[in-house]
A and B are shown apart, each in its own frame.
Chain A
Amino acid sequence: MRDVKAWSLLLVLLLLPRAAGADGRTIDWVDLVPESERATYDPAPPPPVHDYLSGDSAALASMQVMKGDVNEALDGQQVRLPGYVVPLELDEEGRVTEFFLVPYFGACIHVPPPPPNQMVYVVMDRGIDLGSMYSAYWISGTMATRRRDTSMGAAAYTLAGTRAEEYKF
C-alpha cells in the first residue's frame, strides 16, 4: 500500500512540471508592445462601425491604426495568450485552422482591428472546434515576430498554435 502511494506521488511530481511547462509562459496583450511604448498603451477598443452593407468591405481594415512596434523579446518564445478568435480558414469538418487572435470581441467584424502589434495570426497544428463565437480561448504555441497582411487587417505576430483551451473564469 505504501508503495502505491510512493509511486503515485512520484508520478504526480513527474507530470506536474510537464503540464505547466508544455504550455509556455502566460503572457498578456501588453507584453506584445515593446517596453518603450508601454506608457502610452491603451487597451480600449475603438467604437463599432455599422456600414458593412453599403458595400465598402475594406472599411474596417482601412481603419486599423498602423502604429507601434513589436516586442522582439517574444520571437521564438513558447507562450500562452488569451483572446478572441476571428476565423480565417476552416478545414473540411468546420474546425478553425487559421485565425486572428485579438484582445477584444468583434475586432475585424464590426469593430476596427487593433494595431498590428495587438493582433496575432495563429496557425493551429490541429483545427479547433469553436463552441461559440463569443467564447475567449487560451492559445499556446510558439510566437514569431513575422508580419501577416490580409484583407481583414495586418498582424505583426505569427503564432504556431499547439493547444487551444476555452477561457473560463
Chain B
Amino acid sequence: MNRLLSLALHSLWSRRVTALLTVFAIAVSVALLLGVEKLRTGAREGFAATVSGTDLIVGPRSGPLNLVLYSIFQIGEPTASVSWASFELVERHPDVAWAVPISLGDSHRGFRVMGTSRDYFEHFRYGRRVPLAFDAGQPFEDVHDAVVGATVAASLGYRVGDSIELSHGLGEVSFAPHDDHPFRIVGILAPTGTPVDRLVLVSLQAVSAIHEGWEGGARSLAAPPDVDHAHDPSPPAKITAFLVGMKSRPAVLQMQRALNEYAAEPLTAALPGVALSELWRMIGVADRALRAVAACVVLAGLAGMVATLLTGLNERRREMAVLRAVGAGPGHVFTLLVLESTLLALLGAMAGALLASGLLAAAAPWVEHQLGLSLSPGLPGAYDLAIGAAVVAAGFVAGTIPAWRAYRNSLADGLSMKV
C-alpha cells in the first residue's frame, strides 16, 4: 500500500500540471461551497442578532413582520401611529421593566432619523445582549442634540460638534429641509453591524420641535418657528412604536395578548424573535438556492477530475503495461488509480479550505463594513470537516470509474504495437 501510495504520488508529480489544475478546480469549488456556508451562517446570525433583549415591539395595528421591519430594520414605512396614552399605560404596568418610545418620519441625507428617549441607549441590545457603546461623545441631552450611528458618521465624515440639518420625509434628497432647526452632533455610536449604524438619533422632543410650524405638512409662513418653545418637556401626542422589556417571560405573552386585544386603540404587539424567524423563513429560500449552486459546482469539479483521469488513461497505457509487466496485478492498478483520485480530492479539499479561510479573512473587514455581516474566521467547524470528508469520499468513488477501465485493460493492451 505504501509503495502504491508513493507510486501514485510520483505518477501525479510526473503529470503535475494537469494534476495541479485538477486540484485547483476542486479547491475553487470547495472554497465556494465553504464560503457560501460561512456567509449564510453569518447572515443568519447577523439577522437574528439585530435586536435582543427586547421582549415586545408595539406599534399601530398591522402585521408583526411589518412592524419589526420598520421599527428595527428601518425598511418600509409605518402605517399609522400610537397614542402617547397607550405608551404610558404600558410603561406604568407593574410587570414592565422598561419601555422606550420611537418616532420615525424624518431623514438626514438618506439616513433615517429616529426620535427616542435616552433610555434607548440603556436598554437597546443587539447580538448576545450587547448594549450600544459610544465611539465618541455621549447620549443627547438637549433638544437640538443628535447622536449618529457609525455608518452615518463614517460616510458623511461627521465628528462630535458638527452641525447638521434634518429634512422631512424619508428620501435621500429633500427640498423641504428643516433648516430652521439645526442639530449638533453630541455622540457617535460604535459600529454594531445592525441597522442602528444607519440611524440619526434625536430626542422625541426634537421630533416635535422640528415639526413646529410644519403642522400643515409644509413650513407655515404665518407662525415663525419658536425654538425656545421646543424646550417644552411635554410628551408628543403620538409616536411611531415602542419597545418593551418585561420583568418575566410569561408576562411577555400576557402583555402581548392584552395589547393585541386592547379595545381603546388598535395595536399590534410583536415578539421580535418570532417575527425574525418568520422573516428568515421567507428570505431563507435564497440561501438554500446558493447552497445548491455551490454543491453543483463541487460536482462539476469532481466530474472534471474524472474526465481528466479518463483521458489520462489513454496516454498512460504504456505506464500501466509496464507496471503489469513488472508484476503488478490488475488489483494493484485499480488501487493505484483510486488512490490517485482520492489524493487529488484530498489535496483539493485542503487547498479549498485554505483558500476559503484566506479569502474570508481578507474580505471580512470589507463585508463587515459594507453588509454589516460579521464572519467569524475561527477553526473549521463540523460542517467544513463534513464537506471535506464528503469531497474526499466522492473523489474515492469517482476514481473507481477510471480504475475500472484500467483494471479491465489487458496486460498486452499497452505493449501492443498500436500505441
Q: Which A83-139 residues have C-beta < 8 A from chain B?
A: 86-90, 92, 94, 106, 108-110, 132-133
By secondary structure, the A interface counts as: loop
A70 to chain B, nearest CB (A): 23
Of A16-24, A33-41, A48-56, A156-164, which binds chain B? A48-56
Q: Which A55-78 residues have C-beta < 8 A from chain B?
A: 55, 57, 60
Distance between Cα atoms of A90 and B273 in the complex (Å) = 12
Which A residues lie within 8 Å of B250 (CB)? 86-88, 108-109, 152
**How many positions in chain B have a CB within 8 Å of any CB in the partner chain?**
21
Q: Is B261 an interface residue (CB 8 A)?
A: yes
Closest to A109 in B: B253
A48 to chain B, nearest CB (A): 9
Distance between Cα atoms of A152 and B249 in the complex (Å) = 10
Q: Is B92 an interface residue (CB 8 A)?
A: yes
Given A57-B94, A94-B273, A151-B248, A52 and B255 touching (CB < 8 A)?
A: yes
Which B residues lie within 8 Å of A88 (CB)? 248-250
B98 to chain A, nearest CB (A): 16
B253 touches A86 (CB 8 A): yes
Partner of A55 from B92, B249, B253, B257 at Cβ < 8 Å = B92
A50 touches B261 (CB 8 A): yes
A110 touches B258 (CB 8 A): yes
Interface residues on A, range: 20 to 34
Partner of B128 from A53, A87, A92, A110 at Cβ < 8 Å = A92
Given A50-B261, A52-B258, A57-B94, A133 and B253 touching (CB < 8 A)?
A: yes
Q: Which B227-285 residues have C-beta < 8 A from chain A?
A: 248-251, 253-255, 257-259, 261-262, 273-274
Which residues of A pack against B, CB within 8 Å?
A: 50, 52-53, 55, 57, 60, 86-90, 92, 94, 106, 108-110, 132-133, 151-152
Which residues of B pack against A, CB within 8 Å?
A: 89-90, 92-95, 128, 248-251, 253-255, 257-259, 261-262, 273-274
20 pairs, A vs B, C-beta closer than 8 Å = A50-B258, A50-B261, A52-B254, A52-B258, A53-B258, A55-B94, A57-B251, A57-B254, A60-B254, A88-B248, A88-B249, A88-B250, A89-B249, A90-B249, A92-B128, A106-B257, A109-B257, A110-B257, A152-B248, A152-B250
The 7 closest A-B pairs by CB, nearest first: A52-B258, A110-B257, A57-B95, A109-B253, A152-B250, A53-B258, A94-B273
